Amino acid sequence: MAWESVIGLEVHVQLQTRSKIFSSAATAYGAQPNTQACAVDIALPGVLPVMNHQVALMAVKFGLATGATVNCRSIFARKNYFYPDLPKGYQISQYELPIVSGGQLAIDSGNGEKIIRITRAHLEEDAGKSLHDEFDGLSGIDLNRAGTPLLEVVSEPDLRSPLEAVTYLRKLHSLVRYLEICDGNMQEGSFRCDANVSIRPYGADTLGTRTELKNINSFRFVEKAIQQEIQRQIELIEDGGQVVQETRLYDPLADETRPMRGKEEAHDYRYFPDPDLPPLIIEQAELEKVRDTLPELPDARRERFVHQYQLTPADADQLTSDREIADFFETTADAAGGDSRSAANWINGELMARLNRDNRPIGENRITPKALGALICRINDQTISGKIAKDIFSALWEGEHDVDGIIDARGLRQISDSDALEQVIEEVLGRCVEQATQFRDGQEKVLGYLVGQVMKATKGKANPQAVNAILRQKLSP
Amino acid sequence: MAISKSDVERLARLAHISIDPEEVDSYSSGLSRILDLIDEMNQTNTDGVPPMAHPQDIRLRLREDQATEPDLRELFQSSAPSSDRGLYLVPKVLE
């Protein structure tokens, strides 16, 4: 039987604030254990939560950017469960009336644009961390993370393949970084994903029983975890079994999903409105103020890049997935005297390859848009050849920044002067008599070899077009 | 609406409280009486009345996003039953 997979994602977006959602303790990552956990975070008796204004504004920003309804009145609720890293015995979350409902993201599904609906986005506090391995028979609890603001973004089960799921996730990641509401660091847990996965026969309109995959911490693992879980469910059902609704963890080493050791009745959270927190009210005027701060969003920017800079949609897509890269591109194109296509090629090609190789974000790269722009100008005015440009690019990558200085200091100027070139070409033809004869006999391809020899003899400095022309002239019957 | 004996036991388990088996009956009848009262209230017509989330007609106060809390770990951990290297220690929990 042919099966269709149905996937919905729940993404925890850690909001990039200085202080926690309900206390004035700091949220900086990597502090010594429990040094950023105040009386409210560790739930001492008698303390009361006071909400961080910035958190509300960030949620509003997200709502506006996804075309959602921002609820002018939203309610905080208590989600009750017992775990040592949750000292109050409940997590403050939103249940019946979240701050954001509805909304959507458009993704590229491989054959056109597809709309993924966002059910809701609600605010909640994060829990602390438990460390199980270091203490004999005991667990260590670090409450620094307790109370860190999270926006949980819940999608409808509109995703139909692991690839669509990861495409949606990347889109969401790009969006929250554009909005500057989340640093997007998956290793540090600032952007975490749970996936609800089920399968059904193609064409069926009811949903199968789903399982929930928890805490998958990279884009690659999201795709693999969902892939494995779909495969497991198909094999289970085709062998006459049934999918059990449960929470599973993905083990990247074994590349398989496993049931989480059972927390009995863990899903009975007994939500109720938190009496410590009256309704959160967002005034229309405030909403409009946030709307004015919205940056140009990735989709709009991509469209603009295609038209303004004459880029292919694929190039524009790659350049706009990250706000900093897009900014880098625009400054480079400007510095390159408007040669936006070359700017796009250098950034999407050479620069991306090096960033990926060293696993560096663009912010930590030493090439400035000004220098890259200057390099492109020197290629275009034929001061240097494309081959030499790559060498200079390497020098820029290593931290040099004066393109003209490098060209002069190393004598890299392209040789276009035909007298100088003719000399070299004569010398090459003297050595390559056989190839010259082959070309005269009609073997066009040999010309490439001869150009290569000239380039080699000039250490890459010869102007290839000029060499081509002179060679043809000399070899013509 | 009646709360059964097994409901009482389940609620106690969820709330992590132990109850004397002999008292289960009285809990179940006591809790059932509360639900009966709610059933009675449910007969009131509330069409067009928005659900109440908070008894007082007030809105949430908001504070500026500033980290001002000092590090009081030592003070807090002085009253914790057990701590080590800055961590609170608790009986082992498994995930």
- Contact between A121 and A82 under an 8 Å Cβ cutoff? The reply is no
**Could A19 and B59 be called an inter-chain contact, meaning their C-beta atoms sit closer than 8 Å?**
no
Check if A314 contacts B (Cβ < 8 Å): no
- What's the domain range around B24? 5-42
The b-or-e profile of A442-454 (16+ CB within 10 A means b, else e) is eeeebbeebbebb
pLDDT at A265 over 60: no
Percent of chain A with pLDDT over 70: 98
Domain-embedded: residue B15: yes
What confidence tier does A430 reach under pLDDT thresholds 50, 70, 90?
A: confident
Check if A359 contacts B (Cβ < 8 Å): no
| Neighbour tally for A267: CB within 10 Å | 10
Of A55, A130, A270, the CB nearest to B93: A130
Task: Provide mean pLDDT across the span A205-228.
Answer: 93
Strand partners, A248: A213, A259
Task: Provide mean pLDDT across the span A440-462.
Answer: 86
Q: In angstroms, rounded to a whole number, what is the distance separating the alpha carbons of residues A389 and A368? A: 15
Q: In angstroms, rounded to a whole number, what is the distance separating the alpha carbons of residues B16 and B33? A: 23
Check if A144 contacts B (Cβ < 8 Å): no
Q: In angstroms, rounded to a whole number, what is the distance separating the alpha carbons of residues B63 and A18? A: 12
Over residues A334-390, the pLDDT tens digits come to 999 999 999 999 999 999 999 989 888 888 889 999 999 999 999 998 888 888 899
Over residues A83-124, the pLDDT tens digits come to 899 999 999 999 999 999 999 999 988 888 999 999 999 999
Alpha helices (H) along A402-457: 403-410, 418-431, 433-440, 446-457
Q: What ipTM describes this predicted complex?
A: 0.89
The C-alpha of A289 sits at a distance from chain B's nearest C-alpha, in angstroms, of 17
- Contact between B50 and B42 under an 8 Å Cβ cutoff? The reply is no
pLDDT on residue B94: 65
A394 CB-near residues (< 8 Å, 6+ apart)? none
What total of structural domains would you count in chain B?
1
Over residues B66-80, the pLDDT tens digits come to 999 999 999 999 999
A256 CB-near residues (< 8 Å, 6+ apart)? A228, A232, A250
Domain-embedded: residue B20: yes
pLDDT on residue A263: 53
Check if A469 contacts B (Cβ < 8 Å): no
Q: In angstroms, rounded to a whole number, what is the distance separating the alpha carbons of residues A422 and A469? A: 11
pLDDT on residue A266: 55
Over residues A301-342, the pLDDT tens digits come to 999 999 999 999 999 999 998 999 999 999 999 999 999 999
Domain-embedded: residue B87: no
Lowest mean pLDDT among A20-34, A171-185, A417-431: A417-431
Cα R_g (chain A), whole angstroms: 29
pLDDT at A12 over 90: yes
For chain A, the domains span 3-288, 296-410, 418-475
Domain-embedded: residue B50: no
Percent of chain A with pLDDT over 90: 70
Q: Which residue of B has its CA nearest to A17?
A: B65
CATH class of A418-475: mainly alpha
